Amino acid sequence: MSSFGTLFRISTFGESHGKGVGVIVDGCPPCLKLSEADIQVQLDRRRPGQSHLTTAVSIVVHLTTVIHNSQRSEADRVTIQSGTENGVTLGTPISCFVPNQDQRPGDYKEMNAVPRPSHADYTYQEKYLVAARSGGGRASARETIGRVAAGAIAEKWLKEQYNTEIVAFVSAIGEVSTKGVDINTITRDEVDKSLVRCPDKEAVVEMQKVIESAKADEDSIGGVITCVIRNVPTGLGEPCFDKLEAKLAHAMLSIPATKGFEVGSGFEGAKMRGSAHNDMFFRRTDGKLGTHTNFSGGIQGGISNGEHIFFRVAFKPAATIGRDQETVDFSGKPATLAAKGRHDPCVTPRAIPIVETMAALVLADAALIQMARKTAGLYLQQKE
Amino acid sequence: MSSFGTLFRISTFGESHGKGVGVIVDGCPPCLKLSEADIQVQLDRRRPGQSHLTTAVSIVVHLTTVIHNSQRSEADRVTIQSGTENGVTLGTPISCFVPNQDQRPGDYKEMNAVPRPSHADYTYQEKYLVAARSGGGRASARETIGRVAAGAIAEKWLKEQYNTEIVAFVSAIGEVSTKGVDINTITRDEVDKSLVRCPDKEAVVEMQKVIESAKADEDSIGGVITCVIRNVPTGLGEPCFDKLEAKLAHAMLSIPATKGFEVGSGFEGAKMRGSAHNDMFFRRTDGKLGTHTNFSGGIQGGISNGEHIFFRVAFKPAATIGRDQETVDFSGKPATLAAKGRHDPCVTPRAIPIVETMAALVLADAALIQMARKTAGLYLQQKE
Amino acid sequence: MSSFGTLFRISTFGESHGKGVGVIVDGCPPCLKLSEADIQVQLDRRRPGQSHLTTAVSIVVHLTTVIHNSQRSEADRVTIQSGTENGVTLGTPISCFVPNQDQRPGDYKEMNAVPRPSHADYTYQEKYLVAARSGGGRASARETIGRVAAGAIAEKWLKEQYNTEIVAFVSAIGEVSTKGVDINTITRDEVDKSLVRCPDKEAVVEMQKVIESAKADEDSIGGVITCVIRNVPTGLGEPCFDKLEAKLAHAMLSIPATKGFEVGSGFEGAKMRGSAHNDMFFRRTDGKLGTHTNFSGGIQGGISNGEHIFFRVAFKPAATIGRDQETVDFSGKPATLAAKGRHDPCVTPRAIPIVETMAALVLADAALIQMARKTAGLYLQQKE
Amino acid sequence: MSSFGTLFRISTFGESHGKGVGVIVDGCPPCLKLSEADIQVQLDRRRPGQSHLTTAVSIVVHLTTVIHNSQRSEADRVTIQSGTENGVTLGTPISCFVPNQDQRPGDYKEMNAVPRPSHADYTYQEKYLVAARSGGGRASARETIGRVAAGAIAEKWLKEQYNTEIVAFVSAIGEVSTKGVDINTITRDEVDKSLVRCPDKEAVVEMQKVIESAKADEDSIGGVITCVIRNVPTGLGEPCFDKLEAKLAHAMLSIPATKGFEVGSGFEGAKMRGSAHNDMFFRRTDGKLGTHTNFSGGIQGGISNGEHIFFRVAFKPAATIGRDQETVDFSGKPATLAAKGRHDPCVTPRAIPIVETMAALVLADAALIQMARKTAGLYLQQKE
């Protein structure tokens, strides 16, 4: 289904070439200052072609084109339709809508009879016996606009309530990886300094080359995003099935084009011994316990321990490429597919706000659930 | 919460040292032949010390001790308390119960004042303001018994309905990885031939050495499990948030000690180009479309495409080790922790049935949901 | 929360004086012919002042004014924003939007400091610490537009799939009740012949007098709606908590201004003996079992038995009246409240499409869930 | 499904003649003192034959037999299997189990081929294509044991947290109704003084006669239960679909044999005018607003206003009666059914604890959800 969350619950809708896309955010706490500007900032980071960066102009311009040419003309301007009055949330459902301005179904005509390899054309047809015949329908990247709008609201609340900071950055493009990015201090401003959204100045040069090379070959390339969440209260996440890392994994693997998720030590942790992997406790200056190391990634037994949460998400190369592809049509007859429409050589940089806002949705929901438990538990404990 | 699934929905309960553990399975289709033996087989694979294998006896016996000494005396015998009559499911909730036979709270006494590093003692205390003081309570590995019992029922149904096969195996222990295991043909029998549950005969020797070495050092070691699901109908999984890989990721990261999940090409896919990664279609002999390669891992746009689904899950080294650990107690005072109770040098082999049954729960739920959509859609389509 | 249903799931949003109201319908089967006209018909029945009826013109015109003057200028024109293509549902979320054309917050200014008696002003303030200051916000009758739009889609599907007919009518206004309306044959056309939406020609005259009298006194009057559902497949409804009558009761009591629900024999049934109340079975000509009487109201043990489902819903008199009311403001200071804005002397006739569409939502959800169970069960049974 | 609630969530299981019945309570706040005795008290009130009352002995003994002979030998002794330690809740799932001691499937043999009129035999068969062949299976009254056990825990928490009192009593048996019972003061002790559980001393005499008369005729008789909830915090209930009265209606209509629900003025309110029905506000001595009258039944706009919540629930006469019934068997062949097994002439008195505990489950869930909203809202409001 197109809903996510329990107490902070969102429902999205919208195909790529219909009237628009949007989301209902149900359960956002009341009394939160909220305007469309709060939401627009992440939609703008998701949307391409709006960079004001001054560094490396020639490359920037070039890369902008490369990465974002597909949607330059769509402003993705959000409207709040309900749930706020006088700039404050009412506690009632907040509906956000973004119209589709740029509808060019013609671009995809050729694909109608031919399911695009590694896209969702074939599986939607199998699932629903019918499929949107233009632009991927619900499987389009535009579906993520609703998530980003909703998650921007979750971020705002987490910031107000806990001063929580969520920062994601590109940590790999193809074979090129970052080194030494400090997740304790990294900021969104630093991330946005490069169009690749990678704060490692040396890596970014190589990454840009990798992307340009893929573009020159009418091809695409995958990448990895690392995300850190700072100032997380302890106690978030439910034991058993709704462990905090399980919900984060669910959220991340629900983003189009993702193939993997790892938290804390991740797959490297599987190679380690317990004596090295265990995070020893110490007493912090505020009296609470902290851990010297953080292989746990801020989560133990499915519950946040107050340390930074960090995780990595793998993105496959975009399925839509300009190169000819030898495949078959829906009837099984051989066909050569050449995408003439929109396509990005690397979608990973644009996924940064999607990763951040999905993480915010998971945390906001877990925080509200824990708020109920803790308020009740504290009262009962103090009665003794 | 301790529930999972929508139409095939389970709820588990039980601490490690209470009266027992169990599960309610709600929504299992009626008319399914089901006896306790169907469930017991996977509980036995999860439970240690019951091997009748004849290969590599001396090492086997040794390793059995190493891995499984902790729970040799617990038979983990399941009772079906409701939901069946005359060996057939009634469609009503199926309750399964496994008593705790071996309650030795004394073993963990020392840990009461000292939260075990990288375990859940501290976070449970932060979450609930109170915590089970023996054996990890709900965070114990015994919590997984309920999942395995429920998932064994899901497996049975999937086998009856679609001939679905789910096979998991250990693909890495520490730095040692398998090579060339054929996921198209691998069977549980082959997996169970070694106690490490790794079907690569060369790798398994090295893996045993790694585990024995960790044991000799009173330490633990992590590992990776690969799982394949064959004979999956097309159309399972919901677009957007409940993509099939998202639910699988959720399920896998909810298993204790997991740190990562990847499906199909996974993190390696992030290094690839689209032209190499895209799975080209061809016409199969049954007339349906198949793909030449399967970097997608059997899922495209969140929906199964009929190819094998496969994924990998990373397990960290067990947190409870015999070696002294320098940490602090709950009040922040320095303390040395030495676990005298049960501990396993490597939990990964025992997690095999947990991975398989959690995968079955995800698929059974998705299959029932799709059954409703498809039945309705087909009827409407044929009316035209 | 503002969501309802499991497989046929809706989420609504919108305050009375914001930008608009709407709904997302998630889980509607694919391949269903659907246009805005299918939805508009029930929105028009909910909306006042559009009658083309020719009977009793002078009274009609009069009563139209009486009942519906509040919203004459709002067209309530629905737009489908997603989920269909070429007039057919895609299986993806269907978003419906109705803009608020007539925003007159000024009308309610006086009420800002004074919580309206028996309205939701005080409780919203207590719940959210903040409240929409005009027109009742989320507690306005306009909230029901989203439900009606969604339910109209559910009705369309039930009609296509099972030929299900849902007809509601006003069976009481104040002390005046209908006699002898035949629920086996009553149609919407017959109901709509009078503006009171009561098919009993004698009762309707008295009902109109009661409403006019209340209007003359700047007062309001309550009423009762009876609803029948014909052509219901057997097997709908879940044992235990989600019995079909429990879901219907939930749906009906969620409609603003409702105070009671009874199914089948209802409260009268509590006075009866079992020998009189029990519905004896007989063999119908189609070979299935039917019952001679239908005190059960078409539901036994929470599950539909194929007989007509019928139930009654009590509506209190509208809380907003023109007469002066002696009450207090939010601070507790005495205040006289006189509503100068919109108010209806009797809301019951306009609630007819709300009752019908909410009933449709309950049935559509139950039908999809049962479709999964039955498809699976039949397959397993036939394997034997 | 057999689950109910969101944050305070229960799942029940168990057929009448299987190994036992039970419930998992997930989400109960931690740090609540809880022992089996807290639960047993309501199970004992639900269970018959344990009365120590001294009034009207000859009638009492007689009536006890009449009403409760069916289950005299079942102790219904509850065991807590998980979720507590040292008499305090851990916040983890609480599992309660009650074994079935008295399994006499033979009693119902005759019914196997003949679906009992107005019972669930036929509909279960239609739904699941298979049905428990003894004692009604899941549709048996024993299914309610799980609810009562879970609700007793909810009651305990509500009492600790808000001093909430929930008292239900029989307000009608057949045509005999109570007069002048004061819902502001009525206690469970007063209710339990008569075996009919009716606190109106005059009515109870007539009620007993009605029940005895039905018994003498091998028949059954229906009744009505009134329930009041005192000390309810304001703000409980969600606007739109999960209004507090909607959830209560859902809960009540999910109890076996119920046919109607009304809150506050109920169906009588439908006859009233707004000027009489509106509850005018006044300032209470504690500074909060109260209402002079309470036709709203403590809920306005779906949200509790701090006044007493009260509602009525209609119970049909028990379907199983000793008298011969002319009906047909599953194949449609005429058959005479005479129940020789257990049957009660009036189930209403035993439903008292079921109504109370189901009400407690609704309130506990709503209270936890509101706790999250309010805690967050207050923090945000105070930040300004």
Average pLDDT, chain B: 89
**pLDDT tens for residues C78-133?**
999 999 999 999 999 999 999 997 655 444 454 468 999 999 999 999 999 988 76
Distance between CA atoms of residues B18 and D63, nearest Å: 41
What is the pTM (predicted TM-score) of this model?
0.94
Q: Taking CB atoms and an 8 Å limit, are A130 and C88 in contact across chains?
A: yes
**pLDDT tens for residues D155-173?**
999 999 999 999 999 999 9
Q: Can you name the residues that pair with B283 across neighbouring β-strands? A: B289
Lowest mean pLDDT across A338-352, B312-326, D182-196: A338-352
Lowest mean pLDDT across A125-134, B171-180, C369-378: A125-134
Instruction: Round to the nearest angstrom and report the end-to-end CA distance of chain B.
Output: 44
Average pLDDT, chain C: 89
User: Please, what is the Cα angle at D231 between D226 and D237, to 5 degrees?
Assistant: 80
- Tell me the three state secondary structure of residue C41: helix
**pLDDT tens for residues D278-309?**
999 999 999 999 999 999 999 999 999 999 99
Q: Which chains have 3+ CB pairs within 8 A of C? A: A, B, D
**pLDDT tens for residues D371-384?**
999 999 999 999 87
Distance between CA atoms of residues D23 and D94, nearest Å: 8
Can you state the angle between helices C352-383 and B144-162, rounded to 10 degrees? 80
Residue of B nearest to A263 (CA): B259
Query: Does residue A68 come out as left (phi exceeding 0), alpha (psi in the -120 to 50 range) or beta?
Result: alpha
Instruction: Report the share of chain D in percent with pLDDT over 70.
Output: 88
Nearest to A93 by CA among A173, A189, A22: A22
Distance between CA atoms of residues D110 and D38, nearest Å: 39
**pLDDT tens for residues C30-52?**
999 999 999 999 999 998 654 33
Q: Is the pLDDT of residue A109 over 90?
A: no
Q: What is the mean pLDDT of residues A313-319?
A: 97
Q: Which of A11, A23, A123, A133 to mutate against chain C (most C CBs within 10 Å)?
A: A11
Average pLDDT, chain A: 89
Q: Is the dihedral of CA D124, D127, D133, D138 positive or negative?
A: negative
Identify all chain C residues contacting B31, using CB atoms and an 8 Å cutoff. 377, 380-381, 384
CB D221 within 8 A of CB D345: yes
Residue of B nearest to D19 (CA): B81
pLDDT the model gives residue D139: 82
- Tell me the three state secondary structure of residue C167: strand
pLDDT the model gives residue B49: 53
pLDDT the model gives residue B54: 26
Assembly ipTM: 0.93
Q: Is the pLDDT of residue B88 over 80?
A: yes
Q: Taking CB atoms and an 8 Å limit, are D259 and C261 in contact across chains?
A: no
Q: Is the pLDDT of residue D59 over 50?
A: no
Identify all chain C residues contacting D346, using CB atoms and an 8 Å cutoff. none
Identify all chain B residues contacting C6, using CB atoms and an 8 Å cutoff. 6
Q: What is the mean pLDDT of residues D319-334?
A: 93
Residue of C nearest to A99 (CA): C81
Q: What is the mean pLDDT of residues A86-90?
A: 94
Q: Is the pLDDT of residue C236 over 50?
A: yes
Distance between CA atoms of residues B384 and D382, nearest Å: 60
Q: What is the mean pLDDT of residues B31-45?
A: 96
Out of D124, D239, D273, name the one closest to residue C317 (CB).
D273
**pLDDT tens for residues B14-30?**
988 789 999 999 999 99
Q: What is the 3-state secondary structure (H, E, C) of B62-75?
A: HHHHHHHHHHCCCC
Q: Taking CB atoms and an 8 Å limit, are B90 and D30 in contact across chains?
A: no
**pLDDT tens for residues C310-327?**
999 999 999 989 999 999
**In the structure encoding, which two tokens stand for residue B6, read together?**
């929508």
* Domains with residue ranges and CATH for chain A: 3-57+68-382 (3.60.150.10)
Out of A27, A157, A380, name the one closest to residue D31 (CB).
A380
Q: How confident is the model at residue D140 (pLDDT cuts 50, 70, 90)?
A: confident
Output b/e per residue, C47-75; b: 16+ Cβ within 10 A: bbeebeeeebeebbeebbebbbebbeebb
Identify all chain B residues contacting D87, using CB atoms and an 8 Å cutoff. none
Dihedral of CA atoms A300, A306, A308, A310 in degrees, nearest 10, equals: 30
Output b/e per residue, C350-368; b: 16+ Cβ within 10 A: bbbbbbbbbbbbbbbbbbb
Q: What is the mean pLDDT of residues B3-22?
A: 94
Q: In chain C, what are the helix, strand and coil shares in percent, each to the nearest 5? A: 35, 20, 40
Q: How confident is the model at residue B51 (pLDDT cuts 50, 70, 90)?
A: very low
**pLDDT tens for residues C241-285?**
999 999 999 999 999 999 999 999 999 999 999 999 999 999 999
